[in-house]
Chain A
């Protein structure tokens, strides 16, 4: 029985020491090697004062070293916080300061930002650098003890924090415990029958919650995880080659990658002999592409996983037959075992089958709250009013759903301005706040235009002072927003259209944005 994520690795290292744990291009690390490297890193971090309950940053490209970093941090009893290396420095340092991290695990070429005098980071640890000054490098880590630390970590301790888009302009940290992840991972291993001989793809970055299944389902089963090279996401033929060459058995990604594979991936009938299961999550999979994918891969099973970062995966739908081309989107299905899903109406009561309401989730997968934000936590994570005799929390997802005639949840939309693009969730308010921080933006609005491939494209409209160009606005956004939040298109207007009540008319802007692109 494992109660922590790192014990999954330790158990597999004891059982399958020489089996490949992670493959990154031409490089492979076995379970024994990964466990040993992580133990040494943990002892190094511990020497630096990292203790159970701390937060340690992870700032490096997705690689074997990043996996060592994750397990090294977990083995100290601390939580890891993976920071997008493509995000602007300002956002990264905000996150480091927000969750009070003092130690960063990074790599050569990315160290300087954390060594600035005003950096919140006290020490930087890099597996590939030399030890000097505030940098703790290879020689120190390799000399560290190879005895596993006894930290007393329990399953209700924080394992990781994932920062997502926040409507007020600052990213918010979702706190997840070992238990939150394990309830989901244990289910996934069971449901998708993940075994020692499986080869799982790892497409999602480690700051995105899709990575949890790849890493820990593989570790749990003693299977091998193959890191998908970033360039493969731009060129679908490379995804095709990747799955073929590595004989991937379980693929998990956002649907947009699979749509691109269908459209431009040279996908032939009966390709990917070894592949047995395709899992997707993060956004709606357009039925027309899913249908082609299923036709081409008749030997493969397909499952739609659903759940915001705050709940991990909490519902799933196994796509048993080809969806009718005329039918709407496939459902998000039923709750995973040991999980309650309530559909709640405006009045706070549960609604009947077919009626629309907000999905509330009660499960061991539900987060511990938002980091340093008790107000937001209290707003979303409430005492379960439907199980009053039991003291337990329920998470209000903000997603509108209904239950169809088969008893499956069907996703209909959001209660607020949160949208999805490339599987990432984006608060339109965060993008607008970023634009308003440009001194010459007088007024602005960001709208989401439905898109076949990436679910939504963002279009920004702004009324600006003389001389400001769209290139200036793009440049400004690049300083503050992560790449996936930067609008695809910018338009400068003399005046933004208003409704009769004087608010910016988003509907008219959305229509105009749609018109421009058809």
Chain B
């Protein structure tokens, strides 16, 4: 499963996955809340076999799908 499918499927997204733009403001529009962030972290850590540092838990890394993808890319060295 990709990041977009996960967010569309597991968080309170009420449109289709295609409508969830890569730059959609997830935090501002409250698609991701306090529990959502924990769900995403656990998904990323399992799916990509990475460990997300507490220091990396900042809005800048989670404000959109592309930012999350950027974080994962940096962690996996891809």
Contacts of A236 in B (CB 8 A): 54, 57
Report whether A234 and B59 are in contact in the complex, using a CB–CB cutoff of 8 Å: yes
Is residue B38 contacting chain A, with contact meaning CB distance below 8 A? yes
Is residue B14 contacting chain A, with contact meaning CB distance below 8 A? yes
Report whether B16 and A471 are in contact in the complex, using a CB–CB cutoff of 8 Å: yes
Contacts of B13 in A (CB 8 A): 471, 474
* Residues of A260-301 contacting chain B, CB below 8 A: 260, 263-266
B1-33 near A? 1/0 per residue, CB < 8 Å: 000000000101111100000000001001011
- Supposing A234-B59, A471-B16 touch, asked if A86 and B30 sit within 8 A by C-beta, the answer is yes
A198-233 near B? 1/0 per residue, CB < 8 Å: 000000000000000000000000000000000101
Contacts of B74 in A (CB 8 A): none
Query: Size range of the interface on A?
Result: 20 to 34
Contacts of B16 in A (CB 8 A): 471
Report whether A237 and B55 are in contact in the complex, using a CB–CB cutoff of 8 Å: yes
Contacts of B41 in A (CB 8 A): 264
Report whether A231 and B27 are in contact in the complex, using a CB–CB cutoff of 8 Å: yes
User: Least Cβ distance of B42 to chain A in Å?
Assistant: 11
Report whether B30 and A483 are in contact in the complex, using a CB–CB cutoff of 8 Å: yes
A468 to B42, CA, bound (A): 30
Report whether B37 and A483 are in contact in the complex, using a CB–CB cutoff of 8 Å: no
Is residue B78 contacting chain A, with contact meaning CB distance below 8 A? no
Is residue A122 contacting chain B, with contact meaning CB distance below 8 A? no
Contacts of B59 in A (CB 8 A): 231, 234-235
* Residues of B41-61 contacting chain A, CB below 8 A: 41, 54-55, 57-59
Contacts of B10 in A (CB 8 A): 489
Is residue A422 contacting chain B, with contact meaning CB distance below 8 A? yes
Contacts of B38 in A (CB 8 A): 260, 263-264, 453
Report whether B57 and A237 are in contact in the complex, using a CB–CB cutoff of 8 Å: yes
Contacts of B37 in A (CB 8 A): 234-235
A444-462 near B? 1/0 per residue, CB < 8 Å: 0000000001100100000
A498 to B64, CA, bound (A): 42
Report whether A471 and B27 are in contact in the complex, using a CB–CB cutoff of 8 Å: no
A145 to B29, CA, bound (A): 40
A228-251 near B? 1/0 per residue, CB < 8 Å: 000101111110000000000000
User: Least Cβ distance of B2 to chain A in Å?
Assistant: 17
Of A263, A264, A478, which is within 8 A of B14 by CB?
A: A478
A86 to B59, CA, bound (A): 20
Q: A266: nearest residue on chain B (CB-CB)?
A: B54
Report whether A264 and B34 are in contact in the complex, using a CB–CB cutoff of 8 Å: no
User: Least Cβ distance of B62 to chain A in Å?
Assistant: 8
Is residue A410 contacting chain B, with contact meaning CB distance below 8 A? no
Q: A233: nearest residue on chain B (CB-CB)?
A: B34
Q: A469: nearest residue on chain B (CB-CB)?
A: B16
Contacts of A263 in B (CB 8 A): 38
A-B residue pairs in contact (CB < 8 Å), sample of 27: A231-B59, A234-B27, A234-B32, A234-B34, A234-B59, A235-B58, A235-B59, A237-B55, A256-B34, A257-B34, A260-B34, A260-B38, A263-B38, A264-B38, A264-B41, A266-B54, A422-B35, A454-B34, A454-B35, A471-B13, A471-B15, A474-B12, A474-B14, A475-B15, A478-B14, A488-B35, A489-B10
B residues bordering A, Cβ < 8 Å? 10, 12-16, 27, 30, 32-38, 41, 54-55, 57-59, 62
Knowing that A453-B35, A454-B35 touch, tell me 8 more A-B residue pairs with CB under 8 angstroms: A231-B59, A233-B34, A235-B57, A236-B57, A264-B54, A266-B55, A422-B35, A454-B34
